[in-house]
Amino acid sequence: MMAAPALRSGSLRRRTIVAVLALVAVLLIVLSVVVDVALGARLRGQIEERLRDRAAAAASLVGTVDDTDLAERLSDQGLAVRIDSAGGGSIVAGPSPEQLRDGPRGPGGPGPGEPAAPQPTATGSAVTVVASSVGGDDDLVTLSSTLSDGSTLTLTASAVGVQDTLVQVRWIMAIASAVVLALAAGAVIVIVRATLRPLDQVSEVARSIGAGERGRRLRPTRPDTEIGRVATALDDMLDDVVGAEEAARGAERRLRAFLSDAAHELRTPVAGIRAAADTLVRADLEGPDREMLAAQVAREAARASRLVDDLLMMARVDRGLELTRADVDLRGLVRAEAERAPLLYPHLDLRATVPDAPVVASVDVDRIGQVLSNLIENAARATGGRGSVRVGVNEGPTEVVVTVADDGPGVAEGDRERIFDRLVRLDPARSSTGVGLGLPIARGIARAHGGDVRCLPNEGGALFVVTLPRGERRG
């Protein structure tokens, strides 16, 4: 059988704090990436919009302003300009792309004091932008616009400022994230300590109970939460442990009392045997006196033997009887016990009442015979061997019922369960003989069969009811 894996008992506080901070760090990284991408796209988009505005304004001046003059005006705004006319001529003005990579005077637009975008002055047949395409790389943004007169206008602006802005934003986000993580760490530590404080209380109560304070309990206010379920489970476990301890102490007390009572019961016949034997050995007795002492030795020896047999039977009942079950008609067993009783108790009025139909039970015949014998003997002692005893058997809907009733003094309500304890004898009627093991043995045998023996209220005596499992009728 494989051993269960060891419980992982790392610090719950540490794991919770690390997990929360890791989650916050991941969220901050995701936020930084989103801000970086979105801001970079937005800044490049603004450059593209400005280039489109300048291209549209320049298109409106085509035909009214010389291409060289137009290129000069556009290049004054920090743009690299190229105008390809429909006739095949090209005009280039402004800084070169390499110069733009080194840094412009303004990111795609005029700096302070620079001229604004050229404005149209007069209109004839206005030239417009027919199509535009945007290209470039991380440092440059290039807009190629096809005009309605067939010429092409190419404007290139520097995007180095965008990268500089993004670097600054990244530094700001990194510093801000570090500050947020530090603040979050402090807040999480405080919150986790406060949240897990009930676990410290659970540990404290468990230690105090281990130290001997068995009455302490957690009693959670919210048993439906995680900590509440743990506390409830611990309280239930402690109740079971305390109950088991009390049961063990009670069993130990009963065992000690049983051993003490058994020793006391054995001491009486042993003392009688010893006294009679000493007298027989030391005294020179003849005739009736010697026979009387010999009879006393035999009587006390029989009493001690009966007690030992009962103790052994009680031990077998506790350990678990090995039953040899069979489907038996209990009418014959009841009649046999009724016929045997007068041999032991000649003056006892015992009558058996049995039905005409068979009453079949699944039982061990010898053991159930011992149950009936013990109950009849108990009734005989209760009536002084001269009373009236009635034995009956009936078949119920789910079980077989055997009853033994007598006209003795009866059993008080408070003693109807106590008489099934070991070595318990009621005063005065039921304690004249016997050692108080007959009824416990009878109940133990019946319960081993799946039935029971109970003492029920009865007018004018005691009533014992034996219930046994039904068997199957044959034929």
| Pairing state between β 152-158 and 140-147 | antiparallel
Minimal CA–CA distance to 21: which of 209, 191, 254, 163?
A: 191
Query: Confidence band (pLDDT; 50, 70, 90) for 393?
Result: very high
Closest by CA position to 255, among listed 346, 318, 336: 318
Q: Give 142's strand partners.
A: 135, 156
Mean pLDDT value across residues 338-360? 89
Query: Model pTM?
Result: 0.48
What does the pLDDT average to over 239-261?
78
Whole-number pLDDT of residue 9: 58
Tally of residues, the chain: 475
Q: For residues 32 and 166, what is the distance between their CA atoms, to the nearest angstrom?
A: 11
Q: How far is CA 380 from CA 70, 373, 456, in A?
A: 138, 10, 18
Q: Is residue 119 very low, low, confident or very high in pLDDT (cuts 50, 70, 90)?
A: very low
What are the tens digits of pLDDT across the range 93-106? 888 777 887 765 54
The residue ranking higher by pLDDT, 422 or 366, is 366
Q: What is the pLDDT of residues 422-457, one digit of tens each?
A: 777 665 444 445 567 788 888 989 999 899 999 998
Q: How many CB atoms lie within 10 A of CB 469?
A: 14
H or E element at residue 88: none
For 197-353, where are the alpha helices, taking DSSP H only? 197-210, 226-282, 288-319, 330-344
**Cα dihedral angle (384, 301, 319, 440), rounded to 10 degrees?**
10
pLDDT at 123: 44
pLDDT at 363 over 80: yes
Least confident of 296-310, 331-345, 391-405: 296-310
Q: Show Cβ contacts of residue 245 under 8 Å, excluding neighbours closer than 6 positions.
A: 214
pLDDT confidence tier of residue 404, bands split at 50, 70 and 90: very high
Give the span between the Cα atoms of 195 and 192, in whole angstroms: 5
User: What is the tens place of the pLDDT at every residue in 184-195?
Assistant: 999 988 988 888
pLDDT confidence of 401, banded at 50, 70, 90?
very high
Task: Provide the pLDDT confidence category of residue 178 given band limits of 50, 70 and 90.
Answer: very high
Q: What is the DSSP letter of 442?
A: H
- Model confidence over 23-42: pLDDT tens digits? 999 999 999 999 999 998 89
Measured between alpha carbons, how far is residue 187 from residues 165, 193, 322, 398 in Å?
Answer: 32, 10, 68, 69
Per cent of the chain over pLDDT 70 is 88
| Strands 349-353 and 388-395, sheet pairing | parallel
What does the pLDDT average to over 368-377? 90
Of the candidates 142, 135, 137, the residue with the CA atom closest to the CA atom of residue 163 = 137
Residue 261 — pLDDT band, cuts 50, 70, 90? low
Task: Characterize the bridge pairing of strands 80-84 and 90-93.
Answer: antiparallel
Evaluated on CA atoms 315, 319, 322, 323, the torsion sign reads positive
First-to-last CA distance in the chain?
50
Average pLDDT over residues 374-397: 89
pLDDT, mean of residues 337-355: 88
DSSP 322-371: ----EEEEHHHHHHHHHHHHHHH-TT-EEEEE--SS--EEEE-HHHHHHH
Q: How far apart are CA 356 and CA 363, in angstroms?
A: 20
**Choice among 49-58, 221-230, 353-362 with the minimum mean pLDDT:** 221-230
Higher pLDDT, residue 293 or 82:
82
Band of the pLDDT at 8, cuts 50, 70, 90?
low
The pLDDT value given to residue 463: 93
Q: What's the CA gap between 22 and 383, in Å, rounded?
A: 86
d(CA 369, CA 371): 5
DSSP 221: S
With cut-offs at 50, 70 and 90, classify the pLDDT of residue 110.
Answer: very low
**Whole-number pLDDT of residue 113:** 37
Tokens 């190629």 — which residue? Answer: 144
- Of 53, 103, 47, 46, which is closest to residue 74 (Cα–Cα)? 53
**CA geometry: angle 261, 263, 269, nearest 5 deg:** 110
Top pLDDT among 138 and 45 is at 45
CB 323 within 8 A of CB 367: yes
- Sequence-distant (6+) residues with CB within 8 A of 226 are none
Q: What is the mean pLDDT of the chain?
A: 81
* pLDDT mean over 141-163: 86
Unique residue bearing structure tokens 């300590």: 193
Nearest-angstrom CA–CA distance, 307 and 261: 11
Contact of 173 with 30, CB cutoff 8 Å? no
pLDDT (0 to 100) of residue 265: 66
Q: Whose CA is closest to 150, among 70, 67, 88, 91?
A: 88
Inform me whether the pLDDT recorded for 151 exceeds 90. Answer: no
Q: What is the pLDDT of residues 127-136, one digit of tens each?
A: 888 888 888 8
Checking if the pLDDT of 15 tops 50, the result is: yes
